Amino acid sequence: MNLDMARLFQSISHGVYVIGVADAEGPNAFTAAWVMQTSFDPPMLALSINPSHRSYRKLTASGFFSVNVVPTDRLEWAAHFARPADSGKLAGIAWTPGAGGVPVLNEALAWFQCRLAGELASGDHVVVTGRVTGGRLNPAEALPLNYRDTGNLDGSAALYPDAY
Ligand SMILES: Cc1cc2nc3c(=O)[nH]c(=O)nc-3n(C[C@H](O)[C@H](O)[C@H](O)COP(=O)(O)O)c2cc1C
């Protein structure tokens, strides 16, 4: 357990996102903090995903994903979409299928539709880049949720090494 390292890394600002994926077996979605823009033209995003997640297999099988921005008044989504893949995470959530059938959340602050562009192994995660093919900023007053405001919800303090 390394809370000091967890707090240190949470000083790098991240938002909280729900990543939508789908394959022939159906859609899924998971909470992610490690998301960033990587290009203006073409517009591109990257996310860092643990390759043991069910969502990684679905994302690479279909080549599509969505990035849904979580607003501050939807903190419960952060925990909800971090549950296991077989827990029916999309039940009771209002969503629309985007390209490749990936879920786009109707009540997200904003969403992006992406087509898989590349992958780069990075330690225990894989950085996935995506070409943004569509998106929408919902007309709401809401602000995006910050990763550091989720505390140790992701259990990350247990994932850092004891020392550098
Ligand atoms: C606040 C928060 C941030 C997270 N950020 C990421 C992330 O950036 N990348 C990742 O692979 N998992 C991240 N997770 C963990 C996944 O959401 C979690 O392991 C999820 O169960 C994976 O979903 P799946 O098994 O349905 O694919 C985060 C969890 C939380 C609570």
Helices within the chain (DSSP H only): 3-10, 54-62, 75-80
Does 10 sit in the ligand 1 pocket, CB within 6 Å?
Answer: no
pLDDT of 1: 84
- Exposed, middle or buried, 146 (CB in 10 Å: 0-12/13-18/19+)? middle
Mutate to test the pocket of ligand 1, among 9, 10, 30 (most ligand atoms within 8 A of CB): 30
102 pocket-lining for ligand 1 (C-beta < 6 Å): no
Tell me the per-residue pLDDT of 134-159, one tens digit each, with 9 for 90 and over: 999 998 789 999 999 999 999 999 99
3-156: which CATH number, 2.30.42.10, 2.30.110.10, 3.90.1170.30, 2.40.100.10?
2.30.110.10
Angle (nearest 5°) at CA 79 between 164 and 89 = 125
Q: Whose CA is nearest to atom 21 of ligand 1?
A: 82
Q: Which atom of ligand 1 is nearest to the CA of 83?
A: 21
- Residue 41: exposed, middle, or buried by beta-carbon count in 10 A (0-12, 13-18, 19+)? exposed
Q: What is the pLDDT at residue 139?
A: 81
pLDDT tens-digit profile of 62-110?
999 999 999 999 999 999 999 999 899 999 999 999 999 999 999 999 9
**Cα separation, 118 vs 115, whole angstroms:** 10
For the Cβ of 6 lying below 6 angstroms from any atom of ligand 1, the answer is no
Model pTM score: 0.97
Give pLDDT tens digits for 10-51. Answer: 999 999 999 999 999 999 999 999 999 999 999 999 999 999
